[in-house]
Structures are given as C-alpha cells and as structure tokens.
C-alpha cells in the first residue's frame, strides 16, 4: 500500500516522520508523493496558526483521496483529539504510540496502549534523512513551563537520549549527509536528567571528533544553559557558526511574566561571548509581540535590546493564548497597536538581515548543495544564509562559494566556486 507523509512543525517532528517512513518501509508499505492509500499527518499545535495548518492538511488529504485511510499524530492529536475527531479521520495516535503506527494500520497490534507503557521513547531511529541536511533528535520534553507555552503538557518532562546512541546514529548518517543538525524540544537540557548529569558540550565534543563528519549544527538553545565549554566549541570549524536563541522578548518585566529564567543582560552577555569566539556567528531568534501586559515601555525596551543584539534572522509572531496555559481563553485587546508593533519588528528584522548578509559580499562561504533550480544549485551556508551558484554540482556536496551579490529575495548569489 502507498503511504504519503505530511509534516508540520519543528525539526523534532521532521525527524520522527523520517523514523516513521523507515518503519513503514520495514512493514512492506511504499512511500509516495502522489495520491495515496494511507495518509500519515504529523501535526503541530504551538500556535493557533499551526492548529489551522494542521486541520488544513487533514482536509487536503481527505479531498485528494476520499477513500484513503487518514492517520493523525503529533502534538495537535495529543492534546486536541476531540477537535481532530470532528474533521473525521481513521486513526488518532498519541505521542507514545506514534512508533507503532505501521502495526496499528496493518492490524498486527491490538493493544498499543499496553505496549507503549514498556516502550523506550528513543525507539525512533533513522539511517538517512529526506534532505541533504540531516536532523538527529537527541532530547525530548521540557521542564521550563513558560507561561505562554503548552509544549510541556504535550511532550512531558525533559528526557535525554543516551550519548552512545546519538554518536552511533551520527556516524551512520555522516556517511550520507555532509551536515547533521542536533535537535530537541529543549536541546540545551540534554544530559541534565542523567546521573551523574552531563552537559550538551560533552556530547557535541564527541560528535565533532567523528572521523569523516562534514559539519554539525545545533538547533534552538536556551541561553541560560549555554555554558562556556559549549561556547568554546564554536572555535571548531566543523561546528556551524549559527545559534538560534528563543529570546521571546527584550524587557525583564515581560520575561518574568513569561516565566522565563533569563534576563536581558544574560541574553546580551551570551551573544557577546559567542561573538568573541566566532565574530561572524549568526544569531537568530523568536520574538513575541502583544504579550499580555506589554506596553510602550516594554516594547521600546525590546526595540533597544534588538538594536544591540542585531539578529541575522528574527521570527516575529503575535502572542497566541494556548490551552493548558494561564492565558487560555484570554482575548487580545488593542489589536491595532499590536499590528503596528508587529510591523515595526518585521521591518527591523529585514534591516538586520540585509545588513548581516551584505557583510559577506566578496567573502567565501561553504554552501551545501540542497536543490537544483534552472541551471543553479541552492543551499545554506555554514552561518545559515541561503545561497545559490550556477553550475552542475552534485546535491549534498559542500561547495566553497564567493559571494557576489544579493538577489531580490535576499538570497546570496555566488560568482564562482
């Protein structure tokens, strides 16, 4: 039977979808990008928009083949089962049973709940990835309980994958992929639940020592857990000079209301320390606008903070009251002002991005060829800038590119390899 996989959300979801693909193939199913007999939809629910996109994917699958079986898993299915049931699907699978989906659909597993109780959450394993950059999941869950976030209620407490399992998977994947991206729900918590505790820097150092490793990238990191030993590793050219910090805001009063343990000074100090080790490092971040209690003073402090940090990429999004959090059911007011502030931050994001990219004109960067487009290959550089170069290059290879210009979409265009 033909299976089509549709995925929304974070790198962890994408990793788990790849694990599902390999599991389905073991059970004799075949993957297709076209009309399928079975649709597996891995959902996201971090924002209202993610909810909407997840529901839309389900409806699209039902429309594409009304006779197909629809299986829904992921975070929306975990917390909003009743909402998914209203759309009409065949299987709604919670997080701890996701790994059993092929068996559930094939009818070879009668009591997935009982089996899930004895199942290691690290049963998901992959041998390759569906992109030239491969994601490797090393951590799940979160202990932070930020006041705006429902993820701890979906993914549970922080749990770390054993170092040896991670290293072995990275060894296998590095034979096929030139870049590995370590990901987790709260990546920087890796190792803290072990006895004795380990730090992420311990694991990263071991992975960097793998013979034949192309390069390694870290996904989102909580700044307070980024210690000096981890920062020092950015001196290694194999570790991509790019860090995504979920700043969320640039005012201490709002950060406290978010139940964030960081302060503006801590944010700024971590960025300063990173730039001392790798001067051209790219800093990307998330920023929430319209958080309850936001006023002119807190917003102006955020603008001032961002002008100090100058992130190369900012994901700006409007506050979204979520289930299970203290803000569930809260109605946002002052929408006109929120929209104005959103547009202000978006303009800042564009300006900072352009300034950062322009600083690399005439310089040489290392790009992974990820896709071909009209006689060119496109991909991402080590500092996460999208670039393209004309020529017939093999996908997956790392290409030295000298940056010549910016296109209208702000992609860097290489003059020569």
| Residue range 284-296: mean pLDDT, rounded | 96
In sequence order, the β-bridge partners of residue 398 are 368
pLDDT given for residue 77 in this prediction: 86
Nearest to 381 by CA among 217, 183, 147: 217
pLDDT for position 110: 65
Closest CA to 155 of 96, 219, 221: 96
Q: Output phi, psi for 416, to 5 deg.
A: -155, 160
For the residues 300-321, what does the mean pLDDT come to?
95
The confidence band for 117, taking pLDDT boundaries of 50, 70 and 90, is low
Work out the pLDDT band at 19, boundaries 50, 70, 90. very high
Q: Does domain 121-358 have CATH number 3.80.30.20?
A: yes
Provide DSSP, 357-400. Answer: HHTTTT-EEEEEEEEEETTEEEEEETTS-EEEEES---TT-EEE
Fold equal for 2-117 and 121-358: no
- Least confident range from 3-7, 29-33, 151-155, 177-181: namely 151-155
Q: Is the pTM of this model over 0.85?
A: yes
Domain boundaries, the chain: 2-117, 121-358, 364-416
Q: In this predicted model, what pLDDT tens digit does every residue of 385-402 receive, in sequence order?
A: 999 999 989 999 999 999
Higher pLDDT, 291 or 120: 291
For residue 301, pLDDT beyond 90: yes
pLDDT digits (tens, 9 = 90+) for 149-172: 988 888 889 999 999 999 999 999
Give the C-alpha separation, 215 to 212, whole Å: 9
Q: What is the 3-state secondary structure (H, E, C) of 35-49?
A: CCCEEEEEECCCCHH
Q: What is the mean pLDDT of residues 129-134?
A: 92
Work out the mean pLDDT of the chain and round it to a whole number. 92
Distance, in Å, from the CA atom of 154 to the CA atom of 322, rounded to the nearest integer, reads 12
- Domain 2-117, second-level architecture: 3-Layer(aba) Sandwich (3.40)
Question: Which stretch of 282-286, 326-330, 350-354 has the lowest confidence by average pLDDT?
Answer: 326-330
Assigned superfamily of 364-416: Nucleic acid-binding proteins (2.40.50.140)
Using DSSP's 3-state secondary structure scheme, residue 5 falls into strand
Cβ atoms of 380 and 368 within 8 Å: the answer is yes
User: pLDDT confidence of 72, banded at 50, 70, 90?
Assistant: very high
pLDDT above 90: residue 326: no
- Short-list 352, 341, 226, 222, CA closest to 288: 341
In angstroms, the Cα distances linking 180 to 16, 131, 183, 244, 246 are 15, 10, 10, 16, 21
């Amino acid at each position: 039977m033909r299976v089509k996989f549709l995925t929304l959300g974070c790198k962890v979801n994408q990793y788990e979808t790849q694990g599902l693909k390999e599991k389905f193939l073991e059970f004799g199913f075949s993957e297709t990008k076209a009309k399928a007999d079975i649709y597996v939809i891995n959902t996201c629910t971090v924002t209202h928009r993610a909810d909407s996109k997840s529901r839309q994917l389900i409806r699209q699958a039902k429309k594409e083949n009304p006779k197909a079986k629809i299986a829904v898993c992921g975070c929306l299915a975990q917390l909003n089962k009743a909402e998914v049931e209203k759309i009409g699907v065949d299987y709604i699978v919670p997080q701890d049973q996701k790994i059993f989906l092929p068996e559930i659909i094939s009818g070879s597993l009668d009591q997935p709940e009982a089996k899930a109780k004895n199942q290691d959450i690290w049963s998901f394993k992959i041998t390759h990835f569906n992109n030239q950059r491969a994601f490797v999941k090393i951590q799940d869950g979160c202990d932070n309980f930020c006041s705006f976030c429902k993820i701890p209620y979906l993914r549970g407490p922080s749990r770390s994958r054993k170092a040896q399992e991670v290293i072995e998977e990275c060894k296998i994947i590095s034979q096929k992929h030139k870049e590995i991206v370590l990901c987790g729900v709260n990546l920087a918590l890796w190792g803290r639940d072990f006895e004795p505790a380990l730090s992420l820097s311990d694991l990263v150092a071991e992975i960097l020592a793998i013979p034949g490793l192309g390069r390694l990238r870290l996904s989102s990191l909580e700044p307070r857990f980024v210690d000096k030993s981890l920062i020092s590793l950015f001196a290694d050219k194999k570790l991509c000079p790019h860090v995504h910090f979920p700043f969320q805001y640039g005012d201490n009063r709002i950060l406290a209301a978010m139940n964030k343990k960081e302060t503006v000074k801590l944010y700024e100090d971590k960025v300063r320390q990173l730039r001392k080790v790798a001067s051209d490092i790219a800093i990307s971040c998330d920023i929430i606008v319209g958080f309850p209690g936001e006023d002119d003073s807190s917003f102006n402090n955020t603008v001032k903070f961002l002008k100090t940090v100058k992130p190369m990429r900012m994901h700006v999004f409007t506050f979204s009251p979520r289930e299970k959090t203290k803000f569930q059911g809260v109605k946002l007011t002052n929408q006109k002002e929120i929209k104005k502030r959103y547009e202000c931050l978006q303009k800042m994001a564009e300006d900072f991005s352009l300034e950062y990219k322009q600083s690399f004109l005439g310089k040489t960067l290392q790009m992974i060829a990820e896709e071909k487009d009209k006689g060119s290959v496109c991909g991402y550089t080590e500092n996460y800038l999208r670039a393209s170069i004309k020529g017939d290059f093999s996908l997956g290879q790392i290409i030295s590119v000298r940056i010549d210009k910016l296109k209208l979409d702000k992609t860097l265009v290489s003059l020569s390899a």
